[in-house]
Amino acid sequence: MSEDEERIYVIQRHQASHLHWDLRLEMDGVLKSWAVPKEPPTRSGIRRLAVQVEDHPIEYANFEGVIPEGQYGAGIVEIWDKGTYRLIERTPDKIVFEIHGKRLKGKYCLIRFKGEKNWLFFKKKQ
């Protein structure tokens, strides 16, 4: 897949043990995933913590429903935003991408904190 190709982008609102939003980007044949504890930024100037979690299968991009008690991630999952994105830059510690969603639109960035699963997620100034 070339950098110019449109790829799957989805954010799922997940009411589990605590409310969070799951950012998912199609990369390397899977959905790379981050849990975002606060509502994702719709404008520049807002920064959010994004904790990288396990990869999910591509098919999970369409999932909405209830994960039963006793299972990992038990709770209600709803699609909060969905569309495509174009990858602009990707290094081990930085991902820049342009989102074409219903709620989120424009250039966004994920920057990894040194050697951790914690990333900073924000909308870039245009």
Band the pLDDT of 4: cuts 50, 70, 90: low
DSSP-based three-state secondary structure for 12? strand
Tell whether 37 is covered by a domain. yes
Give the pLDDT score at 17.
86
Q: Judge whether 56 and 33 are in contact, CB under 8 Å.
A: yes
Q: Is the pLDDT of residue 71 over 60?
A: yes
Instruction: Note the pTM of the prediction, 2 decimals.
Output: 0.93
Q: What is the mean pLDDT of residues 115-121?
A: 92
Domains in the chain: how many in total? 1
For residue 65, give the amino acid letter: G
Q: Is the pLDDT of residue 55 over 80?
A: yes
Tell whether 1 is covered by a domain. no
Distances (CA, A) of 56 to 37, 61, 124, 126: 18, 9, 26, 31
Tell whether 81 is covered by a domain. yes
